[in-house]
């Protein structure tokens, strides 16, 4: 049995769990509830992952994998034939590009939330995060038709998880009105059994 340092609040952990469901590996993963933050470290995580971050996957042979990019590709390959990571060529590069976009969005959303939690948030930093969010949403609206038409892959997992985290932490954001094609695609993403099984819980 593999063991995953896990939190229902983490978008990167959710990404891993969506992949685990999609590729039929979720039954082989034991979840270890874990809390880490810039001001709070978990010694068990640090002992296996010097970055001190989640997700961290403990393998059956005693090895350790991190971060979500590596863990997701590992899980995808356990069945022999990759399902979410195209093997080579333009399709793989496009999936990895979209994964980078989704991961980057999750990164700045987490940092944005951290900045908002400070006693005196820097308005220049907040404006920068808002500009990045607007740019990401505009870019995704422009390629929403391609997202809807193509095969479900790791890029779509990452983008979908980023948008779902935006909904989780900023339910008042109201991004759908100005991005109707992206909203329609995200509705189809949110309806997938793997996504419904991995809902964020603030607990």
pLDDT tens string 25-38: 999 999 999 998 87
Task: Determine what percent of the chain is predicted with pLDDT higher than 70.
Answer: 100
Query: What sign has the CA pseudo-torsion 181, 182, 183, 189?
Result: positive
pLDDT of the residue at 27: 96
Tokens read off for 116: 């908002």
Q: Is the pLDDT of residue 170 over 80?
A: yes
Comparing CA positions, the residue from 25, 35, 79, 27 lying closest to residue 56 is: 35
Give residue 42's pLDDT. Answer: 86
What per-residue confidence (pLDDT) applies to 74?
Answer: 97
56 neighbors 64 (Cβ within 8 angstroms): yes
Q: Residue range 150-169: average pLDDT?
A: 97
Q: What is the mean pLDDT of residues 120-128?
A: 97
Domains and CATH numbers, the chain: 2-77 (3.40.30.10), 89-192 (1.20.1050.10)
Predicted pLDDT at 37: 81
Beta-bridge mates of residue 40: 37
Q: Report the predicted TM-score, pTM, of the whole model to 2 decimal places.
A: 0.96
Q: Give Cα separations from 62 to 47, 59, 65, 156 (angstroms).
A: 13, 5, 10, 31
Residue-wise pLDDT for 70-123, tens only, equals 999 999 999 877 789 999 899 999 999 999 999 999 999 999 999 999 999 999
pLDDT at 202: 84
Mean pLDDT, rounded, for 142-153: 97
Question: pLDDT tens-digit profile of 178-189?
Answer: 999 999 999 999
Question: Bigger pLDDT: 42 or 68?
Answer: 68
| Spatial strand order in the sheet of 29-33 | 29-33, 2-6, 56-58, 64-65
Coil, helix or strand at residue 197: coil
Give the pLDDT mean for 119-136: 97
């Amino acid at each position: 049995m593999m063991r995953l340092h896990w939190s229902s609040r983490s978008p990167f952990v959710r990404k891993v769990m969506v992949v685990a469901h999609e590729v039929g590996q979720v039954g082989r993963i034991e979840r270890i509830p874990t809390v880490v933050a810039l001001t709070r470290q978990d010694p068990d995580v640090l002992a296996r992952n010097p970055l001190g971050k989640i997700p961290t996957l403990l393998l059956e042979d005693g090895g350790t994998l991190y971060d979500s990019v590596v863990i997701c590709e590992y899980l995808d390959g356990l069945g022999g034939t990759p399902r979410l990571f195209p093997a080579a060529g333009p399709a793989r590069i496009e999936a990895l590009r979209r994964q980078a976009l989704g991961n980057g969005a999750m990164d700045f959303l987490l940092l944005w939330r951290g900045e908002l939690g400070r006693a005196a948030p820097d308005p220049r930093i907040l404006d920068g995060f808002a500009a990045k969010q607007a740019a990401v949403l505009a870019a995704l609206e422009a390629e929403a038709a391609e997202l809807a038409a193509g095969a479900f892959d790791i890029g779509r997992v990452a983008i979908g998880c980023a948008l779902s985290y935006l909904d989780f932490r900023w339910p008042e954001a109201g991004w759908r009105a100005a991005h109707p094609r992206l909203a329609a695609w995200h509705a189809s993403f949110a309806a997938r059994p793997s996504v419904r099984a991995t809902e964020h819980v603030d607990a």
